[in-house]
Structure 1
Amino acid sequence: MTLKRRAFVLGAGALSVTALGAATSSIDWGGVEQESLLVAGSEEFHPYAVKLVDGFAQTRPKLDVVVEAGGTAGGLLALKRGAIDVALTSRELTATEDEKLTRAYLVARDAIALVVHPGNPVGNLDRKQAAAILRGEVRDWGKLPGGSAGPIRLYRRKADAGTQKALDKMVLANAEMPSSAIVMESGHAMHDRLAADVQGFGFLSLHDVTPAVKVLAIDGVGMSRASILGGSYPFTRSFFCVTHGAEKDVVRAFLSFAQEPQGQNILKGAGLISVR
C-alpha cells in the first residue's frame, strides 16, 4: 500500500485527465498488478479522509492511493471530468451539482459548538444573536436573555483553521469577526481559555467539547448526537464521498468500508459523528 499526496491543482480548471495520467504513470508499480484510488476535494473533510483512506488501504496491500484537498467545487469538477474516483464534500450537493449519474454517500457529520464558561447564566441564543456576538455587534452579556452585565470577551481561531472556516460559513455567512477577538492557536487552547474565563465566548468542534465548558443551545436546541444526526441542531456539517458514472470495484469497496463499522470507527476516532 502506498498513500501519496500529490500537488494536483483543484482550482480553476481542476484536475486535468492529462495531468492525472502523468501523475499515475510516475507510480512505481514494481512489476506487480496494483489498484489505484484517487480521492480529492473538501479541505475540511481532507484530514479525516486521509485517516479513512489510510485505514482502507491497510486492507488492500496492492492499492496505491492519492489523497488531495483543494476544495469541494474543484473536486466535483475533477470527478465529472474523470480525473479522480471520489470527490470529498463537506456539504450537500446543490441542484446543479446533483446530476443523474452523481451519487453522494453520507459518511459522517460534525458540529460547531458555541461555548462559554460553566458559570455563565446564558444558556440559549438564537442564530441572529450568535452571529451578532461573533461580528462584535453585541459586546455585553447584559444585552442577552438571562445574561449578567459585563463585557463579552471574544475568542477566535486563525483564519486558516478548519473550525474557523466552518464557523465563518455556518454562523457568520462569511462575515468577519472583529480584530479585537483573541486568537487561539488550537481547539485545546480555546477550550482551556473558555473553561477559565467567565466572560469568554468562543466555539469548538464537537470532539474538543468536555464538561469543563458550557455549550449553548441554539434556537432552543441543545447539541447532541441525536440533534446533529436529525438535523435540528443548526450548526452542523455533513461529509460526503461522491462518485459520478460507473464505479470501479475498488471504489465500491472503499465506499462500503467508509459506511461499515471499521470505517465509521476511524471517523469517530478522529472526532466526527458516525452515521451508522
Structure 2
Amino acid sequence: MDIKRRAFVMGGSALCVTFLGGATSSIDFGGTPHESLLIAGSDEFLPYAKKLIDAFVKTKPGIDVVVEAGGTDLGLLALKRGAIDIALASRELKATEDEKLTRSYMLSRDAIALVVNPANPLAGLDRKTAASLLLGNVRDWGRVAGQPGPVQVYSRKAEVGTQKALEKLVLDHARMGLEATVVESGVAMRERIAADPRGLGFLSLHDITPAVKVLAIDGVPMNRGTILSGRYPFSRSFFCITHGTEKKAVREFMDFAQGPAGQALLVSLGLIAVQ
C-alpha cells in the first residue's frame, strides 16, 4: 500500500495543514473508516522516513499516512499547533522546545563524510580547514596536503537533504562557493571523486564505498562507534517527535519504527540503528 499524500502548505514561519478535519481525523474511504496519520518535518530525514512509512502501512491497511517535508522547525511548529501527529527532526530538541507533553524518539544516526580520491595523500582535516576548502577560501591542495594542485569541490543541489546537512554541520549554515561543481546524486558524487585525484566531496553513509577515501575530522575517524557516541563531529540524529496524547496510530508507528523490522529497514538504507 503506497503512502496517501495531500499537500502541506508551507509559508513564512507557519505550517498550515488542511486534511479533512486535522490531525485527529478518521477518514471514510468507500464506507470503511481509516485512521489518518499526519507526518511532516525534516527534509534530511524525509527520504528515509518515507521508506519506513511504506513498510509500516503494509502491516496496517487501516491506517492512511500523509507525509511531507518542510524542515524540522516548521514540523515542530505544526506539531505544537495540533496540525500533525508526528514531526520529523534531524536534530535534538532545544530547551525551549522540550515541553512536558513533548516526547522525542531517536530512530537512527547518520553522518556526513568528507571524501577524496584514494590517491590523495591527505588522511584528515580539522573542521576549520574543511570549511575553508568547501567554501573556496583555500583552493590549492598544497596548503593542506603537501601535494600542490587545484582543489575541485563538488556539491549537490541546494534543496537536497545531504547538501543542507553539510551546510549545517560543516559550514555553520553558510553556502558553498559558486565554483563547486554540482552533481545530481550521491552515486554521481562518489563516481566524480573516484575519477578525480584533486576532487573533494561529501557523502551520506549509504553512498560510501572503497572507491573513495573518507577523511578523519579533528583526528576522529568516521565509524559506527564514533558516530553513535557523537565523537565524530559531522554526525546527525533522526527523531520522531510527538506532543500530547498519542493516539493509537502514532503508538503503532513508533512501535514499528523502533522495533526489529523498522530498525533493520533503516540499517538497510545505510543508517545506524539505535535500538
Query: Which TM-score applies when normalising by structure 1?
Result: 0.93
Task: Using the TM superposition, give the Cα deviation of residue 271 of structure 1 relative to its aligned residue in structure 2, in angstroms.
Answer: 2.3
For the aligned residues, what is the CA RMSD? 1.7
Point out where structure 1 has 5 or more consecutive residues left out of the alignment: none
Task: Using the TM superposition, give the Cα deviation of residue 186 of structure 1 relative to its aligned residue in structure 2, in angstroms.
Answer: 1.2
Mapped pair 1:165 → 2:164 = yes
Secondary structure in structure 2 of the residue aligned to 1:74: helix
Task: Using the TM superposition, give the Cα deviation of residue 255 of structure 1 relative to its aligned residue in structure 2, in angstroms.
Answer: 0.7
Aligned residues of 1:10 and 1:71 also touching (Cα < 8 A): no
Point out where structure 2 has 5 or more consecutive residues left out of the alignment: none
Mapped pair 1:275 → 2:266 = no
Please give the alpha-carbon distance, in whole angstroms, between the structure 2 residues aligned to 1:59 and 1:240: 22
Task: Using the TM superposition, give the Cα deviation of residue 129 of structure 1 relative to its aligned residue in structure 2, in angstroms.
Answer: 0.5
Secondary structure in structure 2 of the residue aligned to 1:44: coil
Please give the alpha-carbon distance, in whole angstroms, between the structure 1 residues aligned to 2:241 and 2:22: 22
Please give the alpha-carbon distance, in whole angstroms, between the structure 2 residues aligned to 1:36 and 1:49: 16
What corresponds to 2:86 in structure 1?
Answer: 86
Secondary structure in structure 1 of the residue aligned to 2:53: helix
Secondary structure in structure 1 of the residue aligned to 2:20: helix
Superposition pairs of residues 1-276 of structure 1, within 5 angstroms = 3-11=3-11, 12-15=13-16, 19-22=18-21, 27-144=27-144, 146-276=145-275
When residues 70 and 174 of structure 1 are mapped into structure 2, their CA distance, relative to the original with a 3 A threshold, is same
Stretches (4+) displaced over 6 A: 23-26
Aligned length: 273
Render the CA deviation track for 1:185-209: whole Å, top value 9, x for unaligned: 1111110111111111111111111
Query: Which TM-score applies when normalising by structure 2?
Result: 0.94
When residues 46 and 149 of structure 1 are mapped into structure 2, their CA distance, relative to the original with a 3 A threshold, is same
Instruction: Give the percent of matched residue pairs that are identical in Structure 1 and Structure 2.
Output: 63
Task: Using the TM superposition, give the Cα deviation of residue 230 of structure 1 relative to its aligned residue in structure 2, in angstroms.
Answer: 0.8
Which shows bigger deviation, 110-119 or 3-12?
A: 3-12
Please give the alpha-carbon distance, in whole angstroms, between the structure 2 residues aligned to 1:263 and 1:155: 33
Secondary structure in structure 1 of the residue aligned to 2:237: strand
Please give the alpha-carbon distance, in whole angstroms, between the structure 2 residues aligned to 1:197 and 1:119: 9
1:77 maps to amino acid:
L
